[in-house]
């Protein structure tokens, strides 16, 4: 039997939100309500409550966030408003209409000092404003008994701004680029994340997915240098990628050395085959080529 559901997407003009717009075209069983700040500013509590009261979605996927990791250091209040306070508005709205809340979080809630993949119940220890506000947003989201919290990492898409697009720009213009090789993680195609979230929604609506935290990234582990090298190869650019240590590429926020998330929980819960990051990259690049 087809499951018909009203799914509210907040932050729908971002990378992940836009991937849901693409998925919506292939998923007639689901009815989506797409909103970004102009239609629903999630920092406005009364707007969120009255929107939810009017449309009564059965699921809310919060794709809105303050994602400027470095800028957050000088704008902590803005980051907190969107990444923590606004989540409390969504919790209140979801509670009132009984909706499931899907909150997206990040590897930045960890300090990156581990040397084996982070599990869902590992201690969070954020070391940046962005990470702290996302970790506090997690706590708020988890006060609601119908929350599914999804942590992901190194997100890219054909939409928005991301590392892939920066490398494609640089690769087309420059002879070489220096890229950090002592920070590792897993590049994650936002389209794969969106599809996985839709599977979570299906599973939770049939009562098969317990509330709580889930980790999802693509498969595999690489450094930013490996990622950049693969991008240049797939794009056919002759731009040489030089590996450099992170210390030679200072940023306001020190990037975690190790950002790998353990995905066994979601893999088992959904019987999921997770695509390798190189496979996701190839599909995204094909899409960018048109």
Q: Which residues bind ligand NAP (CB under 6 A)?
A: 10-11, 13-17, 36-37, 41-43, 63-65, 67, 82, 104, 106, 134, 152-155, 160
| Cα–Cα distances in angstroms (integers) from residue 166 to residues 146, 202, 254, 281, in the given order | 37, 35, 19, 14
Q: How far is the CB of 36 from ligand NAP (least distance, A)?
A: 5
Lookup result for tokens 């897993």: 186
Residue 143 or 242 having the CB closest to ligand NAP = 143
Which residue among 66, 108, 118, 130 is the active-site one? 130
Residue 156 or 225 having the CB closest to ligand NAP = 156
Residue 64 or 231 having the CB closest to ligand NAP = 64
Longest Cα–Cα distance of the chain, Å, equals 56
Q: How far is the CB of 240 from ligand NAP (least distance, A)?
A: 25
DSSP 82: I
DSSP 252: S
Cβ atoms 15, 59 nearer than 8 A: no
Q: How far is the CB of 58 from ligand NAP (least distance, A)?
A: 20
DSSP states of 97-147? HT-EEEEEEEGGGS-S--SSPBPTTSPP---SHHHHHHHHHHHHHTTSTTE
β-pairing, 184-185 vs 222-223, is: antiparallel
Q: What angle do CA 233, 252, 83 make, to 5 degrees?
A: 90
DSSP 247: G
Distance CA 46, CA 93 (A): 9
Residue 43 or 88 having the CB closest to ligand NAP = 43
Q: Which helix (H) or strand (E) holds 150?
A: strand 147-152
- Which residue sits closest to ligand NAP, CB atoms considered? 14
Q: How far is the CB of 270 from ligand NAP (least distance, A)?
A: 19
Cβ atoms 226, 151 nearer than 8 A: no
Q: How far is the CB of 239 from ligand NAP (least distance, A)?
A: 22
Residue 41 or 204 having the CB closest to ligand NAP = 41
Q: How far is the CB of 19 from ligand NAP (least distance, A)?
A: 8
The neighbour count for residue 121, using CB atoms within 10 Å, is 9
Residue 29 or 75 having the CB closest to ligand NAP = 75
Distance CA 122, CA 109 (A): 10
130 belongs to the catalytic site:
yes
Residues classed as catalytic: 130
């Amino acid at each position: 039997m087809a499951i018909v559901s009203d799914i509210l997407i907040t932050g729908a003009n971002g990378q992940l939100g836009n991937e849901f717009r693409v998925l919506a075209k292939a998923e007639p069983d689901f009815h989506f309500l797409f909103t970004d700040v102009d239609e629903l500013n999630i920092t406005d509590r009364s707007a969120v409550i009255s929107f939810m009261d009017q449309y009564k979605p059965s699921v809310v996927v919060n794709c809105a966030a303050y994602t400027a990791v470095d800028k957050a250091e000088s704008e902590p209040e803005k980051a907190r408003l969107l990444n923590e306070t606004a989540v409390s508005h969504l919790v209140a709205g979801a509670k009132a209409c009984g909706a499931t809340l899907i909150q997206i979080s990040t590897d930045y809630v960890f300090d990156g000092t581990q040397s084996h993949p982070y599990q869902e119940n590992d201690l969070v220890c954020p070391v940046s404003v962005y990470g702290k506000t996302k970790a506090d947003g997690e706590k708020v989201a988890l006060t609601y008994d119908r929350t599914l919290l999804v942590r992901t990492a190194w997100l890219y898409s054909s939409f928005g701004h991301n590392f892939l697009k920066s490398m494609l720009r640089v690769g087309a213009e420059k002879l070489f680029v220096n890229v950090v090789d002592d920070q590792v993680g897993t590049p994650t195609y936002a389209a794969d994340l969106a599809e996985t979230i839709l599977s979570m929604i299906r599973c939770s609506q049939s009562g098969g997915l317990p509330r709580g935290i889930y980790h999802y990234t693509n498969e595999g582990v690489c450094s930013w240098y490996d990622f950049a090298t693969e991008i240049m190869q797939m794009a056919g650019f002759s731009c040489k990628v030089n590996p450099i240590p992170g210390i030679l590429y200072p940023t306001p926020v020190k990037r975690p050395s190790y950002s790998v998330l353990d995905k066994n929980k979601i893999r088992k819960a959904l019987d999921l085959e997770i695509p390798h990051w190189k496979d996701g990259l190839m599909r995204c690049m094909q899409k960018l080529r048109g």
